[in-house]
Amino acid sequence: MTKPRAELYGAPPMLLVHGGAGVIRRDMDADAERGVRAALAEALRRGHESAAAGGSALDAVTAAVVALEDAPYFNAGHGAVFTHDGINELDAAIMDGATLRAGAVAGVRRVRNPVLLARAVMEHSPHVMLAGEGAEGFAREQDIALVDPDYFRTGRRWRELQAARRQANRNEHVDHFGTVGAVALDARGRLAAATSTGGMTDKRWGRIGDSPVIGAGTYANAACAMSGTGWGEFYLRTAAAHAVCMRVAAMRQAVGEAAEAVINEEIPALGGSGGAIVLGADGALAMPFNTDGMFRGRIGNDGEPHVAIWPDEHI
């Protein structure tokens, strides 16, 4: 009988989360920073509790991402950014590395926790991705919570939209960041990844980024799991998450080496930027980013959350 991967490697369970790359130090006051750190720690605890209660890697990433979607600090769920037309359009994906099953949703406007709907697509439909009104119809069938669109409206994100519009009118650069995600390794050696986002501030024409696209912003196989955050067009063009995990699985590269090559070399070479969280079946982890900061954290067997924002913080 084939031994579980965790037994082969002896790697303990691990959960990583991110709340997005691109944070700028001058834009973070002390209260906001405390709130972000507390929200990251809570997401880690939720995911760890799920795993400790006998849950799978899928359960851990689901619980963690739901917590991040419910927090107002991140560009997902309750804290999602606005489109050019002043609405919130949400995307999410989840993937089981052990089976390569995956589910995703795109362009939904009333789903409180898009990651729950993405998981329902994976587990209760014959499809991988559903979008827009069809996805919300499926949510009703699956008893996934729907909310009034005003639930997603926050004053901070509305002000960001106005600022982005002014920048666009002056042909100034607008940063394209904001996502949440989680990757986990469970006690049986199974990996999973999940990502959720409100997309790009001031996006138009039903734009869909990398987060819900399997292999771009989200991917997991038996050797590696990744959730990305950054300028989605470049993660799409490089199939970033798949590229990282195939370097680990097929080329036998170390997780850190594979993540560095794609996130900090290939993507910047094309003009993009961002970050990622990556976890290997051997327990190795990487959290590369090439922006001023990235909201990130990890939790292991001891149940103690470790969180960071700035480049000089090592967790």
Given a contact cutoff of 8 angstroms between Cβ atoms, the answer to whether 164 and 44 are in contact is no
238 flagged as catalytic: no
Given a contact cutoff of 8 angstroms between Cβ atoms, the answer to whether 277 and 227 are in contact is yes
The residues near 13 (Cβ < 8 Å, ≥ 6 apart) are 6, 51, 60, 184, 185, 186, 187, 300, 301
Q: For residue 265, count other CB atoms closer than 10 A to its CB.
A: 12
Secondary structure E strands in the chain: 14-21, 90-96, 101-108, 129-131, 180-185, 191-197, 218-220, 224-230, 274-280, 285-286, 294-299, 306-308
Q: Which of 62, 83, 179, 291 is catalytic?
A: 179
Nearest to 183 by CA among 131, 248, 139, 268: 248
Opening angle at CA 207, ends 205 and 209, nearest 5: 175
| Residue positions annotated with a catalytic role | 179
